Amino acid sequence: MHRDNSRTPRQPSLNRRTPVGLTSKTGPSATPHPLAALVDDAASAMKQGQWEVALRAYRQVRKALATRTPRGVLGMGATCLHRLGRYDEAEAWADDGLGEDRALLAIPPVHTEDTLRQRWTGDPTPVISILCTTFNHERYLESTIRGFLSQNVTYPFEILIHDDASTDGTQAIVRRWQERYPTLIRPVLQTENQFSQGIRPFELLLKRARGIFIATCEGDDFWIDAGKLQRQVEFLVENPDFSCSAHNYLHYNEANLTVKPFYPTRTDQVLSQRQLMGVARLLWLPTLVFRKLFDEMPPEQRLSFQGDSVLTSFLGTFGKCMYFESMLGSVRRENAFSCWSPLTQDEKEFNRMKTWMALVRMHATRGNAQTVVDLLSRVATSPLDEARKSALLNELLEQHPSLLGER
């Protein structure tokens, strides 16, 4: 949710360091210095939004190095092609860079609508509502939808897709899939951007959802385990004191084309309500299934930057979470097209602080004193400069003077 792309994307913050394999050092395996300079020039062009100029430079490097081209060069070339709207070419560059790792991102075969419905028993009313928010996800959305339709699940489900007035071909993709799955896919296709008007697309879908359980995934992430939905929902059915379940995932960095599990230990664990409310572990949307215990998010969400954190913390007020760390059920992309990735580290920390402050307000209002203490402790250890931190804290204390006793 922090990656709501309905905001105008900023130019990516690019690392100008020369990719591995393009050093100017001498030696038998060294690449001539001019190629390193060419990559630096390409990075500078990208900072200025000169995508064609940068792409020409990356093409020269690729032509010179052939199969020895570093992944970072191919990843940056794919980013340029994406910016130019040449999505098939961008995917081809990314596939070449990923090599054998591409198999890690494979999506199971999709089922027909008839096949999916035949697995359901009894009342066909949706038990699960899959919520997907999109904006300018033409390059990615096919994978997202295929992940939904690959699920081996015995519970009836519906797929709600909200597009926030994309300017690319996202809506055409949604319409095409809805024609193939008319009883499963329920699109909400906007003609005017809702997020820019202060309306949260996620909440629009939440209000429309008919399921007892909510599964979430944004339009640039995708599911790769055909059994993930069944496992998560079955657990919640059998354990009513849990508000949600989540799982491990593959983190796919599109800039350097790396794919790796986010948590390496693979040990399933229960996250307590205190851990959830204090966001000791963030529940990313492509991993999450929760009970539909509310129709709208708390008002403090509008004061935060990271919607994922607010949702995680809010779910903690209803119950525990089962975290299936042994299950790599989805892929979360890190790319240059979100509202988070392009930020500087200082900007990210400031926005984290804004989110912590919003959560403190939320739990102070609800009387969750221990969580207020936990969150204020995180605020105290933030590396944000003291002047900006004090300004945020003073604003918070003006609204909730009683917090002086919690610190």
Angle between helix 87-98 and helix 71-83 axes, rounded to 10 deg: 170
Tokens representing 34 are 């001019």
Helices (H), 110-268: 113-119, 141-149, 170-180, 201-208, 228-238
Whether pLDDT at 403 is above 90: no
Q: pLDDT of 313-347, one tens digit each?
A: 999 999 999 999 999 999 999 987 766 566 678 78
Average pLDDT for 125-145: 97
* Residue of 221, 112, 219, 214 whose CA lies nearest to 157: 214
Q: Distance between CA atoms of 243 and 315, rounded to whole angstroms?
A: 6
Which sequence spans correspond to the domains of the chain? Answer: 113-334, 345-405
Encode pLDDT of 28-82 as tens digits.
555 455 788 899 999 999 999 999 999 999 999 999 999 999 999 999 999 999 9
Give the per-residue pLDDT at 359: 92
CATH number of 113-334: 3.90.550.10
Please report how many Cα atoms fall inside a 13 Å half-sphere around the Cα of residue 54, on the Cβ side: 25
- Least Cα distance to 291 among 238, 231, 242 occurs for 242
CB atoms within 10 A of CB 100: 6
- pLDDT for res 33: 58
Tell me what pLDDT residue 10 has. 36
Beta-bridge partners for 242: 320
